Amino acid sequence: MSTPFAAIFWATLVVYALVVAAQLFGQIFQRPAWNSRASYGLLFGAALHTALLAWRWISTGHVPTMGTFENALSGGWFIVAMTLWAGWKQRHPLLAAGALPFALVILGWGGVSDTRAGPLVASLQSFWMYIHVFFAWLAYGAFTVACGAGVVYLAKSRRGQNPPPQALARLEELMFRSTVFGFITDAGMIAGGAIWAKKLWGSYWSWDPVETWSLLSWLTYGLALHLRATLRWRGRRLAWVLVFAIITVLMTYWGVNLVMTATAHTFNVG
């Protein structure tokens, strides 16, 4: 990437890191004003991030979906946007501290990978690719918010803490609604990917490792919803389930490509 682009990219990561630090500082030292400052910092970082996304889109002529860097840039933006929406005006204080570290890791990993721009390869020039990737970003963003809300819930409800019941109720509602949204959009991702695979490889499903882990991730979050609806798993038990469930998303996005080369998915190329 060019020097100006790189400077803004790393400045954006610094802003996000400062947002997380400000929220933690405000919580540990009982300084509520720092949470408000963090909200505005997150908005500033999101504006820089949006500019980077538009810059990359214009310079390459296609939606940033090629390779690790572009997927990190786009996927990280969705995490930030959903975190900003859920946490704005202190509806869910400290949410950024629980969810933003995932965006930081994704963006940092993308930043140290191959960042060179290239044309969209023939296999990715499909309408169904955009449907598949768009729903994937929505689902993974929602699951990250659910996990972040779970982390905050566990921190606020631990022994010795006495948070207002309304605050915990709002966090639990956010965990549930984010999981429902992610579950539905994850289903859209799998369906869109299956149609794209049929056109590309001649088969709707081939048990590719990434396909398998994406299905496992969807079933895991379906189980979380089932536990809440039928066994009334709420509060800390639901929070723990959602914190551990994010592992399946990380395996789908990173794990398979880190340990295996026999996969037809190319979103981690670079």
Is residue 268 over pLDDT 60?
Answer: no
Q: What does the chain come to in residues?
A: 270
CA distance 79 to 136: 11
* Two tokens, residue 243: 């914190």
pLDDT, one tens digit per residue, over 206-223 is: 888 888 889 999 999 999
pLDDT, one tens digit per residue, over 16-41 is: 999 999 888 887 777 777 777 888 88
Average pLDDT, the chain: 85
Q: Where are the domains of the chain?
A: 3-259
Q: Which residue has the higher pLDDT, 12 or 264?
A: 12
Q: Are 206 and 132 in contact (CB under 8 A)?
A: no
pLDDT, one tens digit per residue, over 70-86 is: 888 999 999 999 988 88
Is residue 184 over pLDDT 80?
Answer: yes
Q: Are 90 and 39 in contact (CB under 8 A)?
A: yes
